[in-house]
Structure 1
Amino acid sequence: TTHLRVNLPTQRGEAGAPLLNMKGEVVGIVVSSLENNSACYAVPIEAAEKIRSDFVRFGEARHGWIGGNISEAPEPVEGSRVEMTQIMEDTPAARAGIKRGDILLQVGRKKVAQPEDVLDASFFITAGDNVSITVMRGNQKLTFHVQAELHPASKNVPMLSDGTQVPTAADANRAMPLKLESAAQTTP
């Protein structure tokens, strides 16, 4: 989702701090500061809320994916310059009937005009969500209902060099059994 650049001096360690508007409402979360500390970047509060919701529901972020690639179309169609350039086999997009060459008009409730709009809309899709996707195919406007899957990058489980799986946030919600490797030795 689009980051906010804010002309707000910040110091190291302030990532995660709330960004407030003049009414005292949280509108974003600071994620990084510029090297000279004269400004910072923040994610909009809606983006932070999506991640929080995923962690509450699943113990991890669950980014949705439909299985297609996009690029900027040479000519706008109904105000959109977003063209489906690839649909991977056996993906939600392929199963729904979306095809290469379709011009994306809307993802969920968000109308799209340029590729960045699709990236912003996609950020808010959680694996398992049913998403309506409207496209223009030739002279025909079509709406597909697609059930998003877990993004393949989210399926990669980090491993330590010895092959042990790195614990996730979901693991923190479960008790971790301890194993005693050796008994204490007493000296006579």
Structure 2
Amino acid sequence: MGKGLVAGIIGAVIGTLLTIYTVFNVLPDSFLRQGSTEEPTKQTLVGTTAKEETVYKAVAKKAMPSVVGITTVTVQQDFFFGDTEQSGVGTGVIVDSRGYILTNAHVISSGQAKNVTVLFYDGTKEEAQVLWYDSLIDLAVIKVEKQDLDVAELGDSDGVEVGDIAIAIGNPLGLEFERSVTQGIISGLNRSIDINQYETMENLIQTDASINPGNSGGPLLDSQGKVIGINTAKIQTAEGLGFAIPIDLAKPIVKQFIEKGRFEKVVLGIQGVNVARYEQASGEDLPAETGVYVLETVSGSAAAKAGIKAGDVIIKIGKADIKSMGNLVRELYKLSPGDETTVTVDRSGKAVELNVKL
């Protein structure tokens, strides 16, 4: 065989190999998978549009059965027309299969709702009983008699970071848009928003996921479908700003209801007011710039036994700074009856640390 013929054969083989290499390295995976019975691996992290769609669909499927609609009827007193009934709509999250549901306090009108009805994923309805609420942190627990309910998985709001995926489920404009899903990211953490002249909601999660009044009480979810917050539309803000109450605040409350069927709140035993509000009302300039001014201690209470006095300003519980009544309430929810902690007060400009048994 001639040298020229051998060289030609070798060249053809090399050319064929190069062509095969090029095809398998240039053509998209989707083209090469055509005809294959192997199913593509599902993605759990977001990197492309396709992956994002998979995450959002998976989260919706996981969380949707544990999200409920809540309708209320509240009696309003009117000077001219007498008592009138006013209806409201919100959202809730099932936190125990025996019928315990977490929502916002303002959804059930801070306990003033005459009737509370829950609409479930399967289309059924049940009347609910209000077990507990706290307007300062805008949380409430209601209960229905229906059993074996789908329960939401509670996540870790302390581990949330800015830029994480955020998905909200709720009833934005009433039940005709029930269980609407909106998506965005975590835009900020530890936000404080003034509700009115005297009330502030603190330590909130900020998101750009769309949250409207009907979303109140619904879940803010992470990319794994875990509840990281309870949405609240009590705060009226600019477009594109939504807020949620961190789920870690609600966990001790939920745990007690699941274990005991009731919630026993830790009571410090004071009547207090924010420093700014006290200064505004009294005209007095206090040494402490922020904190809770103690108007009175209840006789025999934990505060009285610890030596907290009227005129003190509570500035710390444990290592946590206390800037307002909202701060104080949130820190107390982390404690249980019988716990011991320290309370630091500003007493005439001097910091005094006191041991308190709750």
Distance 2:274 2:212 in 1: 36
Alignment pair present for 1:127 and 2:347: no
Q: Which moved more, 1:2-11 or 1:79-88?
A: 2-11
Displacement of 1:63 in angstroms is 0.7
CA gap of 1:140–1:51, structure 2 versus 1, over 3 A, is same
Alignment pair present for 1:55 and 2:265: no
Alignment pair present for 1:20 and 2:221: yes
Given the two structures, how large is their TM-score scaled by the length of structure 1? 0.60
Distance 1:17 1:116 in 2: 22
1:86 match: 296
Query: Match for 1:64: what amino acid?
Result: V
Q: Which runs of 5+ in 1 are unaligned?
A: 149-188
Q: How does 1:146-161 map to 2 (within 5 A)?
A: 146-148=356-358
Higher relative contact order structure (alpha carbons within 8 Å, sequence separation ≥ 6)? 1
Query: Match for 2:219: what amino acid?
Result: P
Distance 2:213 2:288 in 1: 45
After superposition, what is the alpha-carbon deviation per residue over 1:123-175, rounded to whole angstroms, capped at 9, x for unaligned? 33322222311101124321122122xxxxxxxxxxxxxxxxxxxxxxxxxxx
Query: Which one has the bigger helix percentage?
Result: 2
2:353 match: 143
Q: Secondary structure at the match of 2:257?
A: helix
Q: Secondary structure at the match of 1:117?
A: helix
Q: 1:8 aligns with which of 162, 187, 210?
A: 210
CA gap of 1:11–1:143, structure 2 versus 1, over 3 A, is closer
Alignment pair present for 1:66 and 2:271: no
Q: Secondary structure at the match of 1:69?
A: strand
Query: Match for 1:20: what amino acid?
Result: L
State whether residues 77 and 103 of structure 1, in contact with CA within 8 Å, keep that contact through their aligned partners in structure 2: no
CA gap of 1:31–1:61, structure 2 versus 1, over 3 A, is farther
Displacement of 1:94 in angstroms is 0.6
Q: How does 1:30-45 map to 2 (within 5 A)?
A: 30=231, 42-45=244-247
State whether residues 341 and 355 of structure 2, in contact with CA within 8 Å, keep that contact through their aligned partners in structure 1: yes
Larger radius of gyration: 2
After superposition, what is the alpha-carbon deviation per residue over 1:26-45, rounded to whole angstroms, capped at 9, x for unaligned? 311347899xxxx9874321
Given the two structures, how large is their TM-score scaled by the length of structure 2? 0.34
Q: Which moved more, 1:72-81 or 1:121-130?
A: 72-81
After superposition, what is the alpha-carbon deviation per residue over 1:77-107, rounded to whole angstroms, capped at 9, x for unaligned? 3442421111011111111111000111102
Distance 1:145 1:53 in 2: 26
Alignment pair present for 1:29 and 2:230: yes
State whether residues 64 and 129 of structure 1, in contact with CA within 8 Å, keep that contact through their aligned partners in structure 2: no
Query: Match for 2:260: what amino acid?
Result: F
Query: Match for 2:227: what amino acid?
Result: V
CA gap of 1:124–1:76, structure 2 versus 1, over 3 A, is farther
Q: Secondary structure at the match of 1:54?
A: helix
2:196 match: none
State whether residues 15 and 32 of structure 1, in contact with CA within 8 Å, keep that contact through their aligned partners in structure 2: yes
Distance 2:289 2:224 in 1: 35
CA gap of 1:99–1:120, structure 2 versus 1, over 3 A, is same
Distance 2:265 2:306 in 1: 19
